[in-house]
Amino acid sequence: MGSKTPLPHVLMISFPSQGNINPLLRLAKQVAAKGVLVTFTTTSDTGRQIISSSDAVPADDGIPVGSGRLRFEFLDMSWNTRYDQKRLDEDMLHLQTVGPAAFADLITKQSMAGQPVTYVVNNLLLPWVVDVATDMGIPCAVLWVQSCAVFSTFYHYHHGLVEFPTETNPNISVCLPGIPTMAPEEIPSFLQPSANSKPFKSLSKAILEQFRNMDKVSRVFVNSFTELEPEAIDAIAKYVQLIPVGPLVEPEANSWSTIRGDLIKATDDCLEWLDTQAPQSVIYISLGSLCAFTKEEMTEIAYELTTNGRPFLWVVRPDSCELLPQGFLEEVKGRGMVVGWSPQDSVLNHNSTGCFLTHCGWNSMLETLTAGVPVIAYPQRGDQITNAKFLVDMYKVGVRLKGPVQRNALHAAIEGVMGGQDAEAIKEHAAKWKEAGKTALSKGGSSDRNIQAFVDEFNMGSKTPLPHVLMISFPSQGNINPLLRLAKQVAAKGVLVTFTTTSDTGRQIFSSSDAVPADMTTGSWLAAAVSVSSSLT
Protein backbone atom coordinates (compact mmCIF):
# COMPACT_ATOMS: atom_id res chain seq x y z
CA MET A 1 0.00 0.00 0.00
CA GLY A 2 2.76 2.42 0.93
CA SER A 3 4.61 1.88 -2.35
CA LYS A 4 1.65 2.62 -4.62
CA THR A 5 3.04 4.24 -7.75
CA PRO A 6 2.70 8.02 -7.27
CA LEU A 7 1.45 10.21 -10.08
CA PRO A 8 4.10 12.25 -11.89
CA HIS A 9 4.11 15.70 -10.28
CA VAL A 10 4.26 18.88 -12.36
CA LEU A 11 4.62 22.22 -10.58
CA MET A 12 3.26 25.15 -12.60
CA ILE A 13 4.04 28.71 -11.45
CA SER A 14 2.36 31.79 -12.90
CA PHE A 15 3.03 35.50 -12.89
CA PRO A 16 0.20 37.06 -10.82
CA SER A 17 -1.88 38.60 -13.60
CA GLN A 18 -5.10 37.46 -15.25
CA GLY A 19 -3.51 37.21 -18.68
CA ASN A 20 -0.83 34.83 -17.42
CA ILE A 21 -2.92 32.80 -14.97
CA ASN A 22 -5.69 31.83 -17.40
CA PRO A 23 -3.62 29.99 -20.03
CA LEU A 24 -1.33 28.27 -17.51
CA LEU A 25 -4.25 27.05 -15.39
CA ARG A 26 -5.98 25.77 -18.50
CA LEU A 27 -2.81 23.91 -19.48
CA ALA A 28 -2.65 22.55 -15.92
CA LYS A 29 -6.11 21.06 -16.33
CA GLN A 30 -5.25 19.55 -19.70
CA VAL A 31 -2.10 17.91 -18.30
CA ALA A 32 -3.77 16.72 -15.09
CA ALA A 33 -6.60 15.13 -17.06
CA LYS A 34 -4.09 12.75 -18.64
CA GLY A 35 -3.07 11.22 -15.30
CA VAL A 36 -0.69 13.72 -13.71
CA LEU A 37 -0.65 15.48 -10.34
CA VAL A 38 -0.36 19.20 -11.09
CA THR A 39 0.29 21.80 -8.41
CA PHE A 40 -0.56 25.33 -9.51
CA THR A 41 1.10 28.22 -7.71
CA THR A 42 1.31 31.99 -7.80
CA THR A 43 1.52 34.64 -5.09
CA SER A 44 -0.65 34.06 -2.02
CA ASP A 45 -2.55 37.33 -2.43
CA THR A 46 -3.49 36.41 -5.97
CA GLY A 47 -4.30 32.89 -4.83
CA ARG A 48 -6.83 34.19 -2.33
CA GLN A 49 -8.52 36.13 -5.12
CA ILE A 50 -8.71 33.00 -7.28
CA ILE A 51 -10.26 30.92 -4.50
CA SER A 52 -12.74 33.62 -3.48
CA SER A 53 -13.91 34.02 -7.10
CA SER A 54 -14.20 30.29 -7.78
CA ASP A 55 -17.13 27.94 -7.33
CA ALA A 56 -14.71 25.06 -6.76
CA VAL A 57 -12.89 25.18 -3.41
CA PRO A 58 -9.89 22.83 -3.70
CA ALA A 59 -9.04 20.36 -0.96
CA ASP A 60 -5.44 20.02 0.23
CA ASP A 61 -4.91 16.90 -1.87
CA GLY A 62 -6.40 18.54 -4.94
CA ILE A 63 -9.40 18.17 -7.20
CA PRO A 64 -9.94 15.16 -9.49
CA VAL A 65 -9.38 16.21 -13.10
CA GLY A 66 -9.78 13.40 -15.58
CA SER A 67 -7.44 10.62 -14.43
CA GLY A 68 -5.18 13.03 -12.50
CA ARG A 69 -5.46 15.72 -9.84
CA LEU A 70 -5.04 19.48 -9.67
CA ARG A 71 -4.08 21.17 -6.42
CA PHE A 72 -3.26 24.75 -5.40
CA GLU A 73 -0.46 25.88 -3.12
CA PHE A 74 0.52 29.53 -3.08
CA LEU A 75 3.74 31.42 -2.40
CA ASP A 76 3.91 33.89 0.47
CA MET A 77 5.87 36.69 -1.18
CA SER A 78 4.29 39.76 0.49
CA TRP A 79 2.76 40.76 -2.83
CA ASN A 80 -0.31 42.98 -2.97
CA THR A 81 -2.10 42.94 -6.30
CA ARG A 82 -2.32 46.55 -7.41
CA TYR A 83 -2.30 46.79 -11.21
CA ASP A 84 -0.64 50.17 -10.74
CA GLN A 85 1.54 50.93 -13.76
CA LYS A 86 3.44 53.58 -11.80
CA ARG A 87 4.64 50.92 -9.34
CA LEU A 88 5.20 48.18 -11.88
CA ASP A 89 9.00 48.44 -11.80
CA GLU A 90 8.96 48.21 -8.00
CA ASP A 91 6.67 45.18 -8.06
CA MET A 92 8.78 43.36 -10.66
CA LEU A 93 11.91 43.97 -8.59
CA HIS A 94 10.16 42.65 -5.47
CA LEU A 95 9.17 39.42 -7.25
CA GLN A 96 12.68 38.94 -8.57
CA THR A 97 14.15 39.51 -5.09
CA VAL A 98 11.94 37.28 -2.93
CA GLY A 99 10.59 34.88 -5.54
CA PRO A 100 13.52 32.48 -6.03
CA ALA A 101 13.85 31.56 -2.34
CA ALA A 102 10.09 31.16 -1.90
CA PHE A 103 9.86 28.95 -4.97
CA ALA A 104 12.83 26.80 -3.91
CA ASP A 105 11.20 26.34 -0.50
CA LEU A 106 7.99 25.18 -2.17
CA ILE A 107 9.86 22.59 -4.23
CA THR A 108 11.62 21.29 -1.11
CA LYS A 109 8.30 21.15 0.72
CA GLN A 110 6.86 18.89 -1.98
CA SER A 111 9.73 16.43 -1.59
CA MET A 112 9.36 16.37 2.18
CA ALA A 113 5.65 15.63 1.73
CA GLY A 114 6.47 12.56 -0.36
CA GLN A 115 5.48 14.03 -3.73
CA PRO A 116 8.72 15.29 -5.31
CA VAL A 117 8.40 17.60 -8.31
CA THR A 118 8.98 15.84 -11.62
CA TYR A 119 8.78 18.90 -13.83
CA VAL A 120 8.39 22.68 -13.58
CA VAL A 121 6.43 24.84 -16.03
CA ASN A 122 6.42 28.64 -15.81
CA ASN A 123 5.09 31.43 -17.98
CA LEU A 124 6.22 34.89 -18.99
CA LEU A 125 7.76 37.47 -16.64
CA LEU A 126 9.30 34.96 -14.20
CA PRO A 127 12.66 34.19 -15.83
CA TRP A 128 14.25 33.31 -12.45
CA VAL A 129 12.05 30.21 -12.18
CA VAL A 130 14.19 28.49 -14.81
CA ASP A 131 17.34 29.23 -12.82
CA VAL A 132 15.85 27.82 -9.59
CA ALA A 133 14.62 24.64 -11.28
CA THR A 134 17.94 24.11 -13.05
CA ASP A 135 19.92 24.58 -9.83
CA MET A 136 17.71 21.99 -8.11
CA GLY A 137 18.12 19.47 -10.93
CA ILE A 138 14.50 19.61 -12.10
CA PRO A 139 13.69 19.88 -15.81
CA CYS A 140 11.77 23.01 -16.73
CA ALA A 141 9.51 24.12 -19.55
CA VAL A 142 8.15 27.55 -20.43
CA LEU A 143 4.62 28.31 -21.57
CA TRP A 144 4.79 31.23 -23.99
CA VAL A 145 1.41 32.93 -23.57
CA GLN A 146 1.56 34.96 -26.76
CA SER A 147 1.63 33.94 -30.41
CA CYS A 148 4.37 32.06 -32.23
CA ALA A 149 4.81 35.13 -34.43
CA VAL A 150 5.44 37.33 -31.40
CA PHE A 151 7.83 34.72 -29.95
CA SER A 152 9.78 34.81 -33.20
CA THR A 153 9.81 38.62 -33.11
CA PHE A 154 11.27 38.75 -29.60
CA TYR A 155 13.72 35.95 -30.39
CA HIS A 156 15.11 37.68 -33.46
CA TYR A 157 15.30 40.98 -31.58
CA HIS A 158 17.10 39.46 -28.58
CA HIS A 159 19.68 37.68 -30.72
CA GLY A 160 20.13 40.54 -33.21
CA LEU A 161 19.28 38.32 -36.17
CA VAL A 162 17.47 41.01 -38.21
CA GLU A 163 17.19 44.78 -38.21
CA PHE A 164 14.62 46.48 -35.98
CA PRO A 165 13.59 50.14 -35.76
CA THR A 166 15.87 52.31 -33.64
CA GLU A 167 15.68 55.86 -32.34
CA THR A 168 18.07 56.97 -35.08
CA ASN A 169 16.31 54.91 -37.77
CA PRO A 170 12.69 54.43 -36.67
CA ASN A 171 11.26 53.59 -40.10
CA ILE A 172 12.74 50.12 -40.56
CA SER A 173 10.22 47.44 -41.52
CA VAL A 174 10.79 44.08 -39.85
CA CYS A 175 11.18 41.05 -42.11
CA LEU A 176 11.06 37.70 -40.31
CA PRO A 177 10.92 34.20 -41.85
CA GLY A 178 7.42 32.73 -41.91
CA ILE A 179 5.79 36.05 -40.95
CA PRO A 180 4.43 38.84 -43.18
CA THR A 181 6.58 41.97 -43.21
CA MET A 182 5.68 44.25 -40.31
CA ALA A 183 5.76 48.03 -40.44
CA PRO A 184 7.50 49.71 -37.47
CA GLU A 185 4.16 50.45 -35.82
CA GLU A 186 3.05 46.80 -36.15
CA ILE A 187 5.75 45.17 -34.02
CA PRO A 188 5.06 44.75 -30.28
CA SER A 189 5.19 48.18 -28.65
CA PHE A 190 7.73 46.93 -26.08
CA LEU A 191 10.24 46.68 -28.94
CA GLN A 192 9.44 50.03 -30.51
CA PRO A 193 11.98 52.83 -29.93
CA SER A 194 9.24 55.24 -28.89
CA ALA A 195 7.81 56.72 -25.74
CA ASN A 196 4.98 54.20 -26.03
CA SER A 197 7.27 51.45 -24.75
CA LYS A 198 8.97 53.29 -21.89
CA PRO A 199 6.26 52.89 -19.19
CA PHE A 200 6.66 49.13 -19.56
CA LYS A 201 10.43 48.74 -19.62
CA SER A 202 10.33 46.28 -16.72
CA LEU A 203 7.91 44.04 -18.63
CA SER A 204 10.02 44.18 -21.76
CA LYS A 205 13.14 43.40 -19.73
CA ALA A 206 11.49 40.40 -18.04
CA ILE A 207 10.31 39.00 -21.36
CA LEU A 208 13.76 39.36 -22.93
CA GLU A 209 15.34 37.81 -19.81
CA GLN A 210 13.36 34.66 -20.62
CA PHE A 211 15.35 34.38 -23.83
CA ARG A 212 18.64 34.68 -21.96
CA ASN A 213 18.16 31.29 -20.33
CA MET A 214 16.07 29.65 -23.03
CA ASP A 215 18.85 27.09 -23.50
CA LYS A 216 18.15 25.86 -19.95
CA VAL A 217 14.58 24.78 -20.70
CA SER A 218 13.76 21.43 -22.22
CA ARG A 219 10.54 22.58 -23.86
CA VAL A 220 8.88 25.77 -25.02
CA PHE A 221 5.13 25.33 -25.06
CA VAL A 222 3.15 27.97 -26.89
CA ASN A 223 -0.51 28.89 -26.54
CA SER A 224 -1.30 28.49 -30.21
CA PHE A 225 -2.05 25.68 -32.63
CA THR A 226 -0.30 24.37 -35.69
CA GLU A 227 -3.13 25.15 -38.08
CA LEU A 228 -3.14 28.82 -37.04
CA GLU A 229 0.58 29.60 -37.47
CA PRO A 230 2.22 26.84 -39.53
CA GLU A 231 4.75 29.07 -41.31
CA ALA A 232 5.88 30.87 -38.15
CA ILE A 233 6.30 27.57 -36.27
CA ASP A 234 8.28 25.96 -39.09
CA ALA A 235 10.53 28.99 -39.56
CA ILE A 236 11.53 29.42 -35.90
CA ALA A 237 12.21 25.67 -35.60
CA LYS A 238 15.68 26.44 -36.98
CA TYR A 239 16.43 27.94 -33.56
CA VAL A 240 13.75 26.73 -31.13
CA GLN A 241 11.30 23.85 -31.32
CA LEU A 242 7.99 25.42 -30.30
CA ILE A 243 5.34 22.99 -29.09
CA PRO A 244 1.79 24.26 -29.69
CA VAL A 245 -0.62 23.27 -26.90
CA GLY A 246 -3.46 25.69 -27.61
CA PRO A 247 -5.87 27.20 -27.98
CA LEU A 248 -5.92 27.21 -24.17
CA VAL A 249 -9.54 28.22 -23.75
CA GLU A 250 -12.16 26.95 -21.32
CA PRO A 251 -13.57 23.65 -22.63
CA GLU A 252 -17.24 22.93 -22.96
CA ALA A 253 -18.90 22.09 -19.65
CA ASN A 254 -17.32 19.11 -17.90
CA SER A 255 -16.53 18.00 -14.37
CA TRP A 256 -13.62 20.45 -14.06
CA SER A 257 -14.79 23.47 -16.04
CA THR A 258 -15.69 25.19 -12.73
CA ILE A 259 -11.99 25.36 -11.81
CA ARG A 260 -11.18 28.88 -12.97
CA GLY A 261 -8.50 31.47 -12.39
CA ASP A 262 -10.65 34.60 -12.27
CA LEU A 263 -9.27 37.36 -10.06
CA ILE A 264 -12.66 39.07 -10.04
CA LYS A 265 -15.90 37.14 -9.64
CA ALA A 266 -17.78 37.29 -12.92
CA THR A 267 -21.35 38.56 -13.22
CA ASP A 268 -23.33 35.50 -14.28
CA ASP A 269 -26.60 37.41 -14.69
CA CYS A 270 -25.25 38.79 -17.96
CA LEU A 271 -25.62 35.27 -19.39
CA GLU A 272 -29.27 35.24 -18.38
CA TRP A 273 -29.65 38.60 -20.09
CA LEU A 274 -27.99 37.23 -23.23
CA ASP A 275 -30.56 34.43 -23.25
CA THR A 276 -33.24 37.05 -23.92
CA GLN A 277 -31.48 38.55 -26.97
CA ALA A 278 -31.76 37.60 -30.63
CA PRO A 279 -29.06 35.38 -32.19
CA GLN A 280 -25.82 37.19 -33.16
CA SER A 281 -27.28 40.57 -32.22
CA VAL A 282 -25.23 41.71 -29.21
CA ILE A 283 -22.17 43.97 -29.34
CA TYR A 284 -19.70 42.78 -26.68
CA ILE A 285 -17.09 45.31 -25.50
CA SER A 286 -14.17 44.51 -23.19
CA LEU A 287 -10.57 45.73 -22.94
CA GLY A 288 -9.41 43.06 -20.48
CA SER A 289 -8.20 43.51 -16.92
CA LEU A 290 -5.44 46.09 -17.45
CA CYS A 291 -6.53 48.38 -20.30
CA ALA A 292 -9.19 51.09 -20.11
CA PHE A 293 -10.85 53.74 -22.25
CA THR A 294 -10.32 57.44 -21.60
CA LYS A 295 -13.24 59.63 -20.51
CA GLU A 296 -13.49 61.07 -24.02
CA GLU A 297 -13.59 57.59 -25.54
CA MET A 298 -16.24 56.47 -23.05
CA THR A 299 -18.38 59.39 -24.17
CA GLU A 300 -17.95 58.51 -27.86
CA ILE A 301 -18.75 54.83 -27.26
CA ALA A 302 -21.77 55.68 -25.13
CA TYR A 303 -23.12 57.96 -27.87
CA GLU A 304 -22.80 55.25 -30.53
CA LEU A 305 -24.38 52.60 -28.31
CA THR A 306 -27.27 54.93 -27.49
CA THR A 307 -28.04 55.82 -31.11
CA ASN A 308 -27.12 52.52 -32.77
CA GLY A 309 -30.15 50.62 -31.52
CA ARG A 310 -28.36 47.27 -31.20
CA PRO A 311 -28.21 45.45 -27.84
CA PHE A 312 -24.82 45.52 -26.14
CA LEU A 313 -22.86 44.12 -23.20
CA TRP A 314 -20.10 46.46 -22.02
CA VAL A 315 -17.48 45.46 -19.43
CA VAL A 316 -16.46 48.60 -17.54
CA ARG A 317 -13.95 48.33 -14.72
CA PRO A 318 -15.33 49.58 -11.39
CA ASP A 319 -12.75 52.38 -11.31
CA SER A 320 -13.97 53.61 -14.71
CA CYS A 321 -17.73 53.68 -14.08
CA GLU A 322 -17.58 57.33 -13.06
CA LEU A 323 -16.42 58.16 -16.59
CA LEU A 324 -19.75 57.08 -18.12
CA PRO A 325 -21.86 60.04 -19.31
CA GLN A 326 -24.56 61.11 -16.91
CA GLY A 327 -27.91 59.51 -17.70
CA PHE A 328 -26.42 56.91 -20.06
CA LEU A 329 -27.40 53.85 -18.01
CA GLU A 330 -31.00 55.02 -17.69
CA GLU A 331 -31.25 55.77 -21.39
CA VAL A 332 -30.13 52.29 -22.51
CA LYS A 333 -31.79 50.32 -19.71
CA GLY A 334 -33.19 47.04 -21.01
CA ARG A 335 -31.33 47.22 -24.34
CA GLY A 336 -27.83 47.35 -22.91
CA MET A 337 -25.99 45.96 -19.92
CA VAL A 338 -22.88 47.33 -18.18
CA VAL A 339 -20.97 44.95 -15.86
CA GLY A 340 -17.70 45.10 -13.92
CA TRP A 341 -16.48 41.70 -15.14
CA SER A 342 -17.89 38.90 -17.27
CA PRO A 343 -17.25 35.20 -17.89
CA GLN A 344 -15.77 36.08 -21.27
CA ASP A 345 -15.46 32.56 -22.64
CA SER A 346 -19.16 31.95 -21.94
CA VAL A 347 -20.17 35.31 -23.40
CA LEU A 348 -18.24 34.74 -26.62
CA ASN A 349 -19.70 31.25 -27.03
CA HIS A 350 -23.25 32.48 -26.45
CA ASN A 351 -25.45 32.37 -29.52
CA SER A 352 -26.56 35.99 -29.01
CA THR A 353 -23.08 37.52 -29.27
CA GLY A 354 -22.62 39.13 -32.66
CA CYS A 355 -19.24 40.89 -32.45
CA PHE A 356 -16.46 41.66 -30.00
CA LEU A 357 -14.69 45.01 -29.56
CA THR A 358 -11.41 43.82 -28.05
CA HIS A 359 -7.97 45.09 -27.08
CA CYS A 360 -6.55 42.03 -28.91
CA GLY A 361 -4.81 40.41 -25.97
CA TRP A 362 -3.72 36.95 -27.09
CA ASN A 363 -6.04 35.12 -24.67
CA SER A 364 -9.02 37.15 -25.88
CA MET A 365 -7.94 36.59 -29.46
CA LEU A 366 -7.90 32.81 -29.08
CA GLU A 367 -11.21 32.82 -27.20
CA THR A 368 -12.68 34.86 -30.06
CA LEU A 369 -11.32 32.61 -32.80
CA THR A 370 -12.54 29.42 -31.14
CA ALA A 371 -15.96 30.99 -30.56
CA GLY A 372 -16.24 32.12 -34.18
CA VAL A 373 -17.13 35.73 -33.31
CA PRO A 374 -16.26 38.65 -35.64
CA VAL A 375 -13.87 41.21 -34.18
CA ILE A 376 -13.43 44.96 -33.92
CA ALA A 377 -9.71 45.19 -33.18
CA TYR A 378 -8.67 48.03 -30.89
CA PRO A 379 -5.13 47.22 -29.65
CA GLN A 380 -3.49 49.21 -26.87
CA ARG A 381 0.10 48.03 -26.35
CA GLY A 382 2.54 45.14 -26.29
CA ASP A 383 1.72 42.18 -28.52
CA GLN A 384 -1.85 43.44 -29.00
CA ILE A 385 -0.66 45.63 -31.86
CA THR A 386 0.79 42.66 -33.74
CA ASN A 387 -2.21 40.48 -32.91
CA ALA A 388 -4.56 43.04 -34.46
CA LYS A 389 -2.63 42.88 -37.72
CA PHE A 390 -3.00 39.10 -37.85
CA LEU A 391 -6.69 39.15 -36.90
CA VAL A 392 -7.58 41.56 -39.67
CA ASP A 393 -5.02 40.92 -42.43
CA MET A 394 -4.20 37.21 -42.00
CA TYR A 395 -7.21 35.57 -40.39
CA LYS A 396 -9.72 38.04 -41.88
CA VAL A 397 -12.14 37.83 -38.96
CA GLY A 398 -12.70 41.53 -38.35
CA VAL A 399 -11.88 45.18 -38.90
CA ARG A 400 -9.41 47.59 -37.30
CA LEU A 401 -10.58 50.54 -35.20
CA LYS A 402 -7.98 53.29 -34.87
CA GLY A 403 -7.70 55.30 -31.69
CA PRO A 404 -8.80 57.39 -30.06
CA VAL A 405 -12.33 56.03 -30.49
CA GLN A 406 -14.67 58.33 -32.40
CA ARG A 407 -18.39 57.69 -32.76
CA ASN A 408 -18.50 57.67 -36.57
CA ALA A 409 -15.55 55.29 -36.88
CA LEU A 410 -17.05 52.99 -34.25
CA HIS A 411 -20.39 52.97 -36.07
CA ALA A 412 -18.67 52.02 -39.33
CA ALA A 413 -16.73 49.25 -37.60
CA ILE A 414 -19.85 47.76 -36.00
CA GLU A 415 -21.75 47.78 -39.28
CA GLY A 416 -18.70 46.37 -41.05
CA VAL A 417 -18.73 43.15 -39.02
CA MET A 418 -22.46 42.82 -38.28
CA GLY A 419 -24.40 44.11 -41.25
CA GLY A 420 -22.14 45.60 -43.88
CA GLN A 421 -21.10 44.30 -47.29
CA ASP A 422 -18.11 42.39 -45.92
CA ALA A 423 -19.86 40.96 -42.84
CA GLU A 424 -20.77 37.61 -44.41
CA ALA A 425 -17.19 36.93 -45.55
CA ILE A 426 -15.90 37.83 -42.08
CA LYS A 427 -18.40 35.45 -40.48
CA GLU A 428 -17.35 32.65 -42.83
CA HIS A 429 -13.69 33.09 -41.88
CA ALA A 430 -14.63 33.19 -38.20
CA ALA A 431 -16.56 29.92 -38.52
CA LYS A 432 -13.54 28.28 -40.19
CA TRP A 433 -11.18 29.22 -37.36
CA LYS A 434 -13.73 28.13 -34.77
CA GLU A 435 -13.68 24.61 -36.19
CA ALA A 436 -9.87 24.54 -36.53
CA GLY A 437 -9.34 25.66 -32.93
CA LYS A 438 -11.74 23.14 -31.44
CA THR A 439 -10.21 20.33 -33.50
CA ALA A 440 -6.66 21.10 -32.33
CA LEU A 441 -7.50 20.44 -28.66
CA SER A 442 -9.99 17.64 -29.21
CA LYS A 443 -8.81 14.08 -28.62
CA GLY A 444 -6.19 13.24 -31.24
CA GLY A 445 -5.90 16.84 -32.45
CA SER A 446 -2.52 18.48 -33.07
CA SER A 447 -2.23 20.20 -29.67
CA ASP A 448 -3.78 17.28 -27.79
CA ARG A 449 -1.10 14.99 -29.24
CA ASN A 450 1.63 17.37 -28.08
CA ILE A 451 0.26 17.41 -24.52
CA GLN A 452 -0.07 13.62 -24.55
CA ALA A 453 3.55 13.24 -25.70
CA PHE A 454 4.66 15.39 -22.76
CA VAL A 455 2.73 13.20 -20.31
CA ASP A 456 3.89 9.96 -21.97
CA GLU A 457 7.49 10.91 -21.27
CA PHE A 458 6.68 11.00 -17.55
CA ASN A 459 5.03 7.62 -17.70
CA MET A 460 7.99 6.09 -19.52
CA GLY A 461 10.49 7.63 -17.13
CA SER A 462 8.58 6.80 -13.98
CA LYS A 463 7.45 3.22 -14.47
CA THR A 464 6.96 1.99 -10.94
CA PRO A 465 10.17 3.36 -9.40
CA LEU A 466 11.72 1.02 -6.84
CA PRO A 467 11.82 2.12 -3.21
CA HIS A 468 15.38 3.25 -2.46
CA VAL A 469 17.28 2.30 0.70
CA LEU A 470 20.71 3.77 1.46
CA MET A 471 22.89 1.61 3.77
CA ILE A 472 26.17 2.99 5.16
CA SER A 473 28.76 0.88 6.94
CA PHE A 474 31.73 1.55 9.20
CA PRO A 475 34.83 0.54 7.16
CA SER A 476 35.66 -2.74 8.91
CA GLN A 477 35.07 -6.34 7.87
CA GLY A 478 32.95 -7.06 10.93
CA ASN A 479 30.55 -4.25 10.09
CA ILE A 480 30.54 -4.58 6.31
CA ASN A 481 29.64 -8.28 6.14
CA PRO A 482 26.32 -8.25 8.03
CA LEU A 483 25.12 -4.97 6.49
CA LEU A 484 25.95 -6.06 2.94
CA ARG A 485 24.17 -9.39 3.54
CA LEU A 486 21.13 -7.50 4.77
CA ALA A 487 21.37 -5.28 1.68
CA LYS A 488 21.16 -8.33 -0.58
CA GLN A 489 18.19 -9.72 1.32
CA VAL A 490 16.30 -6.42 1.08
CA ALA A 491 17.21 -5.93 -2.59
CA ALA A 492 15.93 -9.42 -3.38
CA LYS A 493 12.47 -8.25 -2.29
CA GLY A 494 12.31 -5.66 -5.10
CA VAL A 495 14.09 -2.70 -3.55
CA LEU A 496 16.92 -0.52 -4.88
CA VAL A 497 19.66 -0.58 -2.25
CA THR A 498 22.70 1.68 -2.35
CA PHE A 499 25.52 0.39 -0.14
CA THR A 500 28.16 2.92 0.87
CA THR A 501 31.34 3.09 2.88
CA THR A 502 34.66 4.90 2.40
CA SER A 503 36.09 4.95 -1.11
CA ASP A 504 39.33 3.25 -0.04
CA THR A 505 37.42 0.37 1.54
CA GLY A 506 35.18 0.23 -1.52
CA ARG A 507 38.16 -0.31 -3.79
CA GLN A 508 39.28 -3.17 -1.56
CA ILE A 509 35.83 -4.76 -1.74
CA PHE A 510 35.80 -4.70 -5.53
CA SER A 511 39.40 -5.81 -5.98
CA SER A 512 38.52 -8.89 -3.95
CA SER A 513 35.15 -9.52 -5.63
CA ASP A 514 34.25 -11.49 -8.74
CA ALA A 515 31.05 -9.49 -9.19
CA VAL A 516 31.52 -5.89 -10.29
CA PRO A 517 28.29 -3.86 -10.81
CA ALA A 518 27.76 -2.91 -14.43
CA ASP A 519 27.68 0.84 -13.74
CA MET A 520 30.82 0.89 -11.57
CA THR A 521 33.94 2.49 -13.03
CA THR A 522 37.28 3.41 -11.56
CA GLY A 523 36.37 7.07 -11.12
CA SER A 524 32.91 6.54 -9.68
CA TRP A 525 34.04 6.19 -6.08
CA LEU A 526 33.81 9.93 -5.55
CA ALA A 527 30.35 9.33 -4.11
CA ALA A 528 31.61 6.24 -2.23
CA ALA A 529 28.51 4.32 -3.30
CA VAL A 530 27.84 0.81 -4.53
CA SER A 531 24.48 -0.05 -6.09
CA VAL A 532 23.17 -3.52 -5.32
CA SER A 533 20.30 -4.54 -7.55
CA SER A 534 17.49 -6.94 -6.75
CA SER A 535 19.22 -9.64 -8.84
CA LEU A 536 21.90 -10.11 -6.19
CA THR A 537 21.54 -13.23 -4.02
pLDDT in tens, 168-216: 999 999 999 999 999 999 999 989 987 455 656 777 888 888 888 888 9
Task: Give the mean pLDDT of 304-330.
Answer: 93
Does residue 363 surpass a pLDDT of 80? yes
Say whether pLDDT at 115 is over 80: yes
CA 224, 419, 347, 298 torsion: positive or negative? Answer: positive
Could you report the per-residue pLDDT of 224-273, keeping only the tens digit for each?
Answer: 999 999 999 999 999 999 999 999 998 765 555 566 766 666 666 899 99
Q: Model pTM greater than 0.85?
A: no
Residue 238: the pLDDT is: 94
Q: Where are the domains of the chain?
A: 9-254+443-461, 269-420, 468-532
Mean pLDDT of 430-445: 95
* Mean pLDDT across the chain: 86
Predicted local confidence at residue 493, as pLDDT: 56
Does residue 58 surpass a pLDDT of 70? no
Q: Which residues pair with 182 in a beta bridge?
A: 174
Per-residue model confidence (pLDDT) at position 526 = 27
Higher pLDDT, 512 or 116: 116
Question: Closest Cα to residue 308, out of 153, 234, 414, 230?
Answer: 414
C-alpha span between 508 and 513 (Å, rounded): 9
Query: Measured between alpha carbons, how far is 457 from 179 in angstroms, rounded to an integer?
Result: 32
What would the pLDDT profile of 85-112 be if each residue is shown by its tens digit? 566 777 788 888 999 999 999 999 999 9
Which carries the bigger pLDDT value, residue 382 or residue 57?
382
Instruction: Please tell me which residue, 504 or 281, carries the higher pLDDT value.
Output: 281
| Secondary structure percentages of the chain, helix, strand, coil, to 5 | 45, 15, 40
Does this chain's domain 9-254+443-461 share its CATH topology with 269-420? yes
- Of 29, 84, 28, 25, the C-alpha closest to 50 is 25
Whether 312 and 338 have beta carbons less than 8 Å apart is answered as no
CATH class, range 269-420: alpha beta
Average pLDDT for 4-18: 87
The pLDDT value recorded for residue 50 is 83
CATH of 9-254+443-461, one of 3.40.50.720, 3.40.190.10, 3.40.50.2000, 3.20.20.370: 3.40.50.2000
Q: Is the pLDDT of residue 339 over 50?
A: yes
Distance CA 1, CA 212 (A): 45
